[in-house]
Amino acid sequence: MASSSSGIILGIESSCDETAAAVVCAGETMLSNVVFSQIPIHQPYGGVVPELASREHLRAIVPVVRKALADAGQTYQSLDALAVTQGPGLAGALLVGISYAKSLSFALDKPLIAVNHLEGHIHAVLLEERQKGNHSLHFPVIALVVSGGHTHLYLAEQREQSWSYRNIGRTRDDAAGEAFDKVAKLLGLGYPGGPLIDKLSTFGDPTAVKFASPQLKHRDRNDKSMEEEDWPRFDFSYSGIKTAVLRYVETHGLQAEIETRRNQMSRISKPTVEDYRSACPQATLDLIASFQRTIVEDLVRKTLEASRNYEAATLFVTGGVAANNELRRHFELESHKQGIQVYFPSRSLSTDNAAMIAAAAYPKFVDKDFAPMDFSAEPALVLR
């Protein structure tokens, strides 16, 4: 096994609806990054269908991995290690990536590294900063991982090569991206809702509808695992705003308009933002913009509160929702006011990809922290 070499790692990611493979050298040079998105397959259902996701991963995994190797100018033999997402995610989807990575590792006699998907999102930021030559981050780092499945705040520290994480906040119900997707579905917009709401919001007045900012007055009584040292918490909650949008739709009699839009859009094979925009009256665009503003302000306020509490001078904002334009603008503005440096991945590395998995695997490669051959998918894996 070639563990003394330069650290050319093939990453594989299949935790949700993207089949992805990438080759990254030493956690800092992305040689290739291939993402096969299943969005068109799940679109008609308005959400990810787990069985379809597994089937599509099975179809896509071999060509996606081959393309990642070819784009990187690598061969199976030239790799130093393989890395794969162990969890969290959909069990059947994760198992496709894991089984394939195990077979490759066994056949090639190369080490295999199991990576937490959430740690991957954090390393997407690190990968790109290192690639730009930025090796001097101030610690501790507060990392907000905000996606369709997660809204987590971590206090992250680096000692030598190894990283440790402490969860200081998470959503008590819906993830922020899930709220974007559910509200988009409710309003007769396409799937996934986040990118569309992002674009449509630019045409609406974000101050038009006043939503109460999400409040959490009590400790999470369902979570017995939290010790005193895990306090204070910076938890989130986004199911209330989704209900508030539903109530707004009902009290303002928007159901007929939504139904008409749904029918109109279903007759267009690939509706554009302009199609959606012209199917939305101004009051609906205002509603969309106000919904987005409420979520963005809550994410920014709690993350900055956490950074003040832990005296962190550096913020990472990553995961699918980190692609949101207004979220980026607000974070930049508010962090600047507090003298905090905020880093985002590029938009293509904000959403799920395998470059982040290969990058997160590098410190483990150096530590020879390899996965045993009997490791399996962990759909609810936590990050520590």
What does the binding site for Zn ion look like in residue numbers (CB under 5 A)? Answer: 147, 352
Q: How far is the CB of 123 from ligand KG4 (least distance, A)?
A: 13
Sorted by sequence, the CB contacts under 8 Å of residue 14 that are 6+ apart come out as 20, 57, 61, 85, 89, 93, 94, 96, 97
Q: Which does 128 bind (CB under 5 to 8 A by kind): Zn ion, ligand KG4, none?
A: none
Residue 321 lies near ligand KG4 (rule: CB under 6 A): yes
The two structure tokens encoding residue 2 = 């070639």
Task: Using CB under 6 A, pick the residue from 177, 204, 206, 363 that binds ligand KG4.
Answer: 177
- Is beta strand 314-318 parallel, antiparallel or unpaired with respect to 141-146? parallel
| 209 DSSP 8-state letter | S
Q: Which is nearer to ligand KG4, 193 or 204 (CB)?
A: 193
For 294, the 3-state DSSP assignment is helix
- Report which secondary-structure segment, H or E, holds 37: strand 29-37
Q: Which does 13 bind (CB under 5 to 8 A by kind): ligand KG4, Zn ion, none?
A: none
Q: Which is nearer to ligand KG4, 316 or 365 (CB)?
A: 316
Q: Which does 190 bind (CB under 5 to 8 A by kind): Zn ion, ligand KG4, none?
A: none
Residue 34 lies near ligand KG4 (rule: CB under 6 A): no
Task: Write the CA distances from 31 to 14, 71, 127, 368, integer angstroms.
Answer: 19, 7, 12, 22
Task: Using CB under 6 A, pick the residue from 174, 181, 286, 298 that binds ligand KG4.
Answer: 181
Q: Which is nearer to ligand KG4, 56 or 352 (CB)?
A: 352
Within the chain, what is the greatest distance between any pair of CA atoms?
Answer: 66
Quick one: which segment of 51-59, 100-108, 143-151, 252-260 binds ligand KG4 (CB under 6 A)? 143-151
From the list 162, 169, 192, the residue with the least C-alpha distance to 180 is: 192
Q: Which does 97 bind (CB under 5 to 8 A by kind): ligand KG4, Zn ion, none?
A: none
Q: How far is the CB of 277 from Zn ion (least distance, A)?
A: 28
Binding flags for ligand KG4, 323-342, as an x/- string (CB under 6 A): xx------------------
Q: Which residues of 218-253 are buried (b: 16+ CB within 10 A; e: fewer)?
A: eeeeeeeeeeeeeeebbbbbbebbbebbeebbeeee
- Report which secondary-structure segment, H or E, holds 81: strand 81-87
Residues binding ligand KG4 (CB under 6 A): 16, 147-149, 177, 180-181, 192-195, 198, 319-321, 323-324, 351-352
